Chains A and B, each alone.
Chain A
């Protein structure tokens, strides 16, 4: 039989246990609802594409009680633009027809998470893929009947480099391969397309023409309320900003919640840039440089990166000004030096000894026409003809440098083909060692896609008795 003191002791133990449990529950609840770091609640680490957002659960889980639809909406909110035709060859509309109900019951191709599940590093392959190995087979099991060249190939190899990309297949579809099968290694006139902004200013409705007419400004025109530092003024006068009538106030007068009129700020953020460069800022927010800012977190820093970075850059914050320092906003600096200040992987470190860099130097020295040099940005921030509205498109630098990165076949049309032929590009991008050395030497890989497309074409022509 337990003594009175024993019973009292046990009571106290119960109270201590209850109290501790209550405190722990309160602490966890507080952390869950208000805490800055909620990684404690993550069921597993995020994929490399999303790891920066570990502290922003609600970037994807916008409604904690929501179901799969909530997650799907979150995927589409960031990636939806790239998931439409013609960029995406498997858009949602392909699958919604009731005739696909049976297939969808086997594999739900209408949900991003079917192939891109998060928090599951044990099944996550490169490109954040958790794709079921039998994904393609449900719709393409008879492919060998249409394409005898594919007979006997395992379905797990569909997405091999240079073969197929489920979403963006624009450089890999059969007729494109055939059209470019004889393209030489180097184009006759290797040139990047020229950027269009100044030439289209009149047509950009959002541009503040009324406040800042496109007229070159002189030193005495600077409209800052205080005298401007001479160096700052000199820098500003060298830019396209001064040449196009963009005065100090254009960036430094910022909207302010506490005032009806905009207030002067010494350090304008990306809102200042986005007044004229909204699409650039938006695209920046979708890539690995700006996604933290877009999610309302502190800016990305190299120390948080998964790729090798320069140790001295560990704490640098990534904003517009990191690569485009005020007040020169020198795009040449942004295209190479800004990248190499942080990136220290083999490919980046080898750039300055590459043929691409040699061409870049020659362009900077005025020995080659504009667009002949190959900077880091030339390939990784390609110049793309963007639909900026329903009625206007312009060639602009894609500031989402992650968009054409992986799988690297997405880079073929936006970057490689401006200067190189398709067969060479396919082989070069399939050669990991060649990529690491920043393309010193010749591709050792040989992608068979073009050869296979040719085989199928010859067979079809024999059947029809036609000629190519």
Chain B
């Protein structure tokens, strides 16, 4: 188990480093280093996606599908099971929202959404989300970027495709009683990660 956590840490650091290389800092007029919202979103997504991939492959898929020593369940506490990769992702986003709330310069939010969500609350709500999720489903491999106004504030919103990388992703969604779509195959765009960065006035 210790080995697993070390490898996650190593990969996370590598992912973070890779992310930062994308988010190249530029010198603004005031000679203060700055990055564009798009670069920041891309960097964040790279870290999120890498961590999630590691959890899905090296923990859930290995222990559930390969070694068959434990199950993964949305009711992980009651079932004494692993948290689902999507929950792992969401718990992280909730913690970030909580911790970033009083840090105006890093106050961003992110969520995992789908046009075919198991939980209806994760369906797109805003126009940008709806357009973006449809765009990434129709244009495989491409991201979607837009600006939008919510609750009187402007945001830079980026939508990244979320691909079913492991057999457990696909089988769980196809078999779930609340899933509105049951013909997913490995490699399909199953949903999207939406990252939202507030823009100054």
Contact = CB atoms under 8 A, between A and B. Distances in A.
Contact of A139 (B121, B174, B194): B121
Interface stretch (A279-287, A374-382, A460-468): A460-468
A86 B194 CA distance: 25
Contact of B177 (A97, A173, A456): A456
A99 B97 contact: no
Given A93-B94, A102-B150, A142 B120 contact: yes
A146 B176 CA distance: 12
Contacts of B196: 98-99
A176 B175 contact: no
A96 B151 contact: no
A466 B178 contact: no
A136 to B, nearest CB: 12
A24 interface: no
Interface in B147-165: 150-153, 155
Interface string B96-139: 01100100000001010000000011000110010000000000
A139 B125 CA distance: 11
B109 to A, nearest CB: 5
B140 interface: no
B125 A102 contact: yes
A105 B150 CA distance: 11
Contacts of A140: 120
A460 B174 CA distance: 11
A97 B97 contact: yes
Interface string A244-269: 00000000000000000000000000
Interface residues of B, number: 28
B175 A464 contact: yes
B58 interface: no
Contacts of B151: 98, 101-102, 104-105
Interface in A197-235: none
A460 B177 contact: yes
A151 to B, nearest CB: 15
Q: Please classify how large the interface on chain A is, using the bins under 10, 10 to 19, 20 to 34, 35 or more.
A: 20 to 34
A176 B77 CA distance: 12
A321 interface: no
B111 A97 contact: yes
B120 A146 contact: yes
A463 B182 contact: yes
A98 B108 CA distance: 10
Nearest to B91: A85
Contacts of B194: 99
A456 B176 CA distance: 12
Nearest to A98: B150
Given A93-B94, A146-B178, A86 B109 contact: no
A354 interface: no
A89 to B, nearest CB: 11
A167 B198 CA distance: 30
B67 interface: no
A142 B114 CA distance: 16
Interface string A129-167: 000000000011010011000000000000000000000
A176 B78 contact: yes
B111 A461 contact: no
Nearest to A93: B94
A464 B182 contact: yes
B75 interface: yes
Contacts of B98: 93, 96
Interface string B168-183: 0000001101100010
B97 A96 contact: yes
B150 A101 contact: yes
10 contacts: A93-B98, A98-B153, A98-B196, A99-B194, A101-B152, A102-B126, A104-B151, A145-B120, A461-B177, A466-B175
Given A98-B198, A99-B111, A99-B126, 15 more contacts: A94-B94, A97-B109, A97-B111, A98-B109, A98-B153, A99-B109, A100-B125, A101-B152, A101-B153, A102-B150, A102-B151, A173-B75, A457-B177, A464-B182, A466-B175
Interface of B: 74-75, 77-78, 94, 97-98, 101, 109, 111, 120-121, 125-126, 129, 150-153, 155, 174-175, 177-178, 182, 194, 196, 198
Interface of A: 86, 93-94, 96-102, 104-105, 139-140, 142, 145-146, 173, 175-176, 456-457, 460-461, 463-464, 466
